[in-house]
Structure 1
Amino acid sequence: MKDPRPEPASGDFSTTPLGDGLTLFAWMSLLLGLGAGTGALFAPDAWYLALLKPTFNPPAWLFGPVWSALYLMMAVALWLVRRDRDADPVQRRRASTLFAVQFVLNLLWTPLFFGLHSPGLAFVDICLLWIALLTTMLAFGRVRPLAGYLLLPYLLWVSFALVLNGTIWLMNA
């Protein structure tokens, strides 16, 4: 049985298996690189170490592996949405735009919290991130359900981080 999708245009590298794989690798590298780079630029310092923290504050070593896994899952979800040529282009564009908004909010949290030493501003940011992320997850799910589900662990982690951020802010106000 012939694949009902149209043949890729001649020279359309992104629709070949190799192009698909390289595009996925590029998204993974970009998101992981930006996330890790932001974390490296604004690493926890003496100010953070001196803050009062709740008993449920995870150990420092946990953040790197968790965020790495989440960035990779985000990249796969974004890749699935952007490569789904059968989806409504308006929905794909909206989902991609929402992804960009939530990702910028994600990247802003670290300099707000660790760079400016402002748990209050970071809390506002993470609240906006949570809303943008939920909206993105729903938009991704409309384009490609698996892409929406891939963002669920991210939403759960951001929910936990929101509570943690708010608690640290209140404990140190």
Structure 2
Amino acid sequence: MIKNKLLTFILFLLITFSASLIGGLATINFMNPWYSLLNKPIFNPPDWVFGPVWTILYFMMTISIWLYWHTRNREMSTIYIYFIHLVFNATWSITFFAFHNMILALVVLIILIALIINLILSFRRVKMISAYLMIPYLLWCCFALTLNISLIILN
């Protein structure tokens, strides 16, 4: 049983952090000079903040889905939504940084936030701690939404 739990944790960790890797590659390869030349709002965090915050959030997401997976009442549709939400998570970075399309990135982010809310509600019915672990991620994405809208307005 412990071996199975460790294996599923590693699998969910790899899947979740693959979204981070894809988004991170898009960010690193296409961010500058474009992003550094944008007018930014005063509440825009320094670039060094994003890496540690996202690392913590991806780890919390992994724990959340892993705990949900090991419940008796889990629904596969929720697992599928988790995977779909990871696609939108990575797509935002590609849309924003690689394509430099802030409006399409905003649409992707709104869909992502809706998927996160869906996951929180689904997790809540089965494993409350899984829902709680997703709340910081939701809040960070709402902050990202505010930043995205501000960047559209300022540029």
Query: Do both proteins adopt the same fold according to a TM-score greater than 0.5, normalized to the shorter chain?
Result: yes
Per the normalisation by structure 2, the TM-score is 0.93
Match of 1:31 in 2: 16
Report the 3-state secondary structure (helix = DSSP H, G, I; strand = E; otherwise coil) of the residue aligned with 2:48: helix
TM-fit CA distance, 1:22:
2.4
Aligned to 1:77: 64
Instruction: Measure how far apart 1:145 and its partner are.
Output: 0.8
Cα pair 1:94 1:139 within 8 Å, conserved: no
Same amino acid, percent of matched pairs: 33
Q: Which moves more between the two structures, 64-73 or 95-104?
A: 95-104
Q: Counterpart in 1 of 2:34?
A: 47
1:128 Cα deviation (Å)? Answer: 1.0
Unaligned runs of 5+ in 1: 1-15
Provide the C-alpha distance between the structure 1 equivalents of 2:43 and 2:24, rounded to a whole number of angstroms: 21
Return the alpha-carbon distance in structure 1 between the equivalents of residues 50 and 21 of structure 2: 11
Please show how residues 158-173 of structure 1 align to structure 2 within 5 Å.
158-172=141-155
1:65-106 CA distances to partner (integer Å, 9 max, x unpaired)? 11111111111111111121x21x5xx212112212221111
State how far apart, in whole Å, the 2-side matches of 1:126 and 1:37 are.
16
- Native 8 Å contact 1:119 1:165 kept in 2: yes
Instruction: Note if 1:57 corresponds to 2:47.
Output: no
Aligned to 2:122: 139
Q: Secondary structure at the match of 2:43?
A: coil
Runs of 5+ consecutive residues of structure 2 not aligned to the other structure = none
CA RMSD of aligned residues (A): 1.3
Q: Quote the residue 1:10 is aligned against.
A: none
- Paired position in structure 1 for 2:81: 98
1:20 paired residue number: 5
Q: Which has the larger radius of gyration?
A: 1
Q: 1:2-39: CA deviations, max 9, x gaps?
A: xxxxxxxxxxxxxx112202221221133123313321
TM-score, length basis structure 1: 0.84
Q: Which residue of 2 aligns with 1:9?
A: none
Tell me the distance in 1 between the aligned counterparts of 2:137 and 2:10: 20
How many pairs does the alignment contain?
153
Which is richer in helix? 2
Q: Contact 2:124 / 2:131 at 8 angstroms: preserved in 1?
A: yes
